[in-house]
């Protein structure tokens, strides 16, 4: 297949389906704001570095107007009964079903995911919409036994108002939906600042979902502000008009966001870095373990926060499991995600390639041995793309500086252990705590991993990889990963304020704890 010719035909079809042009607005404040006179950022495809489009970005004055309009929408939206809000989100999910292929391919063009991964991301938005529909009828409070006679004590949940969402490039629409659809059924309005590297996906998504609202005569609920250098994100972090801010990104930037939000006593949901490990024991099914580790380490070119970045391998498997993994890394097809059989696409940009090379150099300087990989690839017809060879490195101390950092590139560090307690110590010695996995059919090993002495991560998997998660469970991690939770389970409570209510329906005024007070 001629990938360049295929690239252009796919681009033209996707742009036609989604109503995109060579220059588009990145500002939706209830309507799409014209781009004339605004700054522009160019969106380059990591596949071949070709410019897909230019996006007109939001400015300082735009931001204040957008926030004011978002609050005006909240006043109307919050009065709609929650089950009715769920029906609106159902209609949005149905509309997204019509765009699975074209929106999924836009994800491929813009961030380099394979088409099946791009389509899967759009499907994840649909799945969370379905979840939110059911949730809209299950926003339960708790009734509590009152110690006072003729009193009722209970709790209820109210929307915060306008919620800010800042997302990263690697999941350019799915993570937004985790926040936006859950927040919306609770009664919130959402302001989205996407990564500039994934602005087109955000624009297309915003257009699709707000078209549904327009057709139903509803106010705009999903606002969008694309910026070029983080100005809007900084405003959102410091803005007391956003009582809740959800941020997905690096630990470094997350610290800055948390400090700004904390300074104004706001609330934040932080989904920061991952440095995830898979433990493989002699009791594992080796075929499942090999596939789980390989997928975890290579999916999305290792640009997931849940990517497997460390393999903790029992020493008895060094001569059996490890050589097979080396061959898997050596033989995996790297290239344009639009080409058949490609499993590992490009990194997002040249800075990510530099980060890959720098990490390997630091690892070698610290005594690491490269088993396979360590190559920046110049692929025929894709010379402008950002391709690297999947790399395995062993021989480093588990707590070395480079291992303790998250490198968004296909580098997997290998460590050996002799007993399970040593494996747990290696596993838990990094600052991050997002996703974890053990491959074992031994019940005692599995339960130890899942106990308080085992994985210290927010996500723990048995006989499946670290990468990826179902929407039904709460997603998030511990330690430097931030401690936030999004998506399923009771993560919805993060988007609502809890109110404890006391009702006295009697003709006396008894006080709690036996306190008496008489003004007569």
250-263 confidence digits (pLDDT tens) = 999 999 999 999 99
The confidence band for 387, taking pLDDT boundaries of 50, 70 and 90, is very high
**271 carries an active-site annotation:** yes
Q: Are 334 and 378 within 8 A, CB to CB?
A: no
Q: Can you tell me the mean pLDDT for 474-487?
A: 97
- Band of residue 3 on the pLDDT scale cut at 50, 70, 90: very low
- Residue 1 pLDDT > 70: no
Residues in Cβ contact with 462 at an 8 Å cutoff, skipping those fewer than 6 apart: 437, 438, 439, 440, 446, 449, 450
Integer Cα distance of 335 and 338 in angstroms: 8
Distance CA(442)–CA(284), nearest Å, equals 8
Tokens of 466: 């670290």
Model confidence at 5, in pLDDT bands (50, 70, 90)?
Answer: very low
pLDDT of 412 strictly over 70: yes
Distance of CA 66 to the CA centre of its chain: 24
Q: Is 305 a catalytic residue?
A: yes
The active-site residue, picked from 305, 339, 480, 486, is 305
pTM of the model: 0.96
365 within 8 A of 399, measured Cβ to Cβ? no
| pLDDT value, residue 36 | 85
Coil, strand or helix at 199: helix
Residue 57 is given by DSSP the state: P
* Per-residue pLDDT reduced to its tens digit, 281-305: 999 999 999 999 999 999 999 999 9
Based on its alpha-carbon atoms, the radius of gyration of the chain, rounded to whole angstroms, reads: 25
Contact 142, 155 (CB under 8 A): yes
Calculate the average pLDDT of the chain. Answer: 96
Structure tokens at 196: 């500039």
List 271, 394, 406, 486, catalytic entry: 271
Convert the pLDDT of each residue in 388-400 to its tens digit. Answer: 999 999 999 999 9
pLDDT, residue 45, reads: 98
Domains recognised in the chain with CATH numbers: 3-272+485-498 (3.40.605.10), 276-471 (3.40.309.10)
| Residue listed under structure tokens 């329906």 | 505
DSSP 303-368: -STT-EEEEEEEGGGTTTHHHHHHHHHHHS-BS-TTSTT--B---SSHHHHHHHHHHHHHHHHTT-
Question: % helix / strand / coil in the chain, to the nearest 5?
Answer: 40, 20, 40
299-323 tens-digit pLDDT: 999 999 999 999 999 999 999 999 9
DSSP code of residue 241: T
Angle between helix axes 251-263 and 231-238 (nearest 10 degrees) is 40
pLDDT number for residue 4: 43
Q: What gap in Å lies between CA 203 and CA 412, rounded to an integer?
A: 34
Phi, psi of 295 (to 5 degrees): -65, -45
Span 91-126, pLDDT tens digits: 999 999 999 999 999 999 999 999 999 999 999 999
């Amino acid at each position: 297949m001629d990938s360049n010719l295929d690239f252009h035909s796919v681009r033209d079809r996707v742009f036609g389906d989604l109503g995109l042009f060579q220059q588009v607005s990145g500002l939706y404040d209830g309507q799409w704001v014209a781009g004339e006179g605004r700054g522009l950022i160019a969106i380059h495809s990591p596949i071949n570095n070709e410019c897909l489009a230019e996006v007109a970005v939001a400015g300082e004055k735009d931001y204040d107007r957008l926030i004011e309009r978002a609050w005006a929408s909240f006043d109307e939206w919050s009065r709609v009964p929650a089950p009715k809000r769920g029906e609106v989100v159902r209609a949005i999910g149905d509309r997204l079903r019509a765009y699975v292929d074209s929106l999924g391919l836009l994800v491929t063009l813009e961030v380099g995911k394979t088409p099946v991964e791009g389509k899967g991301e759009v499907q994840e938005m649909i799945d969370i919409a379905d979840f939110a529909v059911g949730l809209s009828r299950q926003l339960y409070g708790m009734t509590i036994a009152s110690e006072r006679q003729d009193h009722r004590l209970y709790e209820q949940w109210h929307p915060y108002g306008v919620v800010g969402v800042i997302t990263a490039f690697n999941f350019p629409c799915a993570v937004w939906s985790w926040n936006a659809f859950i927040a919306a059924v609770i009664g919130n309005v959402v302001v989205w600042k996407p990564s500039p590297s994934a602005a087109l996906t955000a624009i297309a998504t915003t257009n699709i979902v707000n078209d549904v609202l327009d057709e139903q005569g509803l106010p705009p609920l999903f606002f969008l502000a694309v910026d070029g250098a983080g100005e809007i994100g900084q405003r959102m972090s410091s803005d007391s008009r956003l009582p809740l801010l959800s941020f997905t990104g690096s630990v470094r930037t997350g610290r800055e966001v948390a400090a700004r939000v904390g300074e104004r006593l706001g609330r934040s949901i932080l989904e920061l870095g991952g440095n995830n490990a898979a433990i493989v024991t002699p009791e594992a099914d080796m075929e499942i373990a090999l596939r789980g580790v390989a997928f975890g380490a290579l999916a999305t070119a290792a640009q997931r926060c849940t990517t497997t970045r460390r393999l903790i391998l029992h020493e008895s498997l060094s001569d059996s499991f490890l050589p097979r993994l080396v061959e898997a890394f050596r033989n995996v097809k790297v290239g344009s995600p639009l080409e058949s059989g490609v499993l590992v696409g490009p990194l997002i940009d040249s800075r990510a390639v530099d980060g890959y090379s720098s990490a390997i150099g630091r690892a070698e300087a610290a005594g690491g041995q490269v088993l396979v990989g360590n190559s920046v690839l110049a692929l025929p017809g894709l010379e402008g793309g950002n391709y690297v060879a999947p790399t395995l490195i062993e021989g480093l101390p588990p707590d070395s500086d480079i291992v303790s950092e998250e490198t968004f590139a296909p580098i997997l560090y290998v460590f050996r252990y002799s007993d399970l307690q040593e494996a747990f110590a290696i596993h838990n010695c990094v600052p991050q705590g997002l996703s974890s996995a053990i491959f074992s059919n031994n019940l005692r090993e599995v339960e130890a991993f899942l106990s308080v002495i085992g994985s210290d991560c927010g996500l723990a998997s048995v006989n499946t990889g670290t990468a990826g998660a179902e929407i039904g469970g709460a997603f998030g991690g511990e330690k430097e990963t931030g401690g936030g939770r999004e998506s399923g389970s009771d993560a919805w409570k993060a988007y609502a304020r809890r109110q404890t209510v006391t009702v006295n329906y009697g003709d006396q005024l008894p006080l709690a704890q036996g306190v008496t007070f008489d003004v007569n």
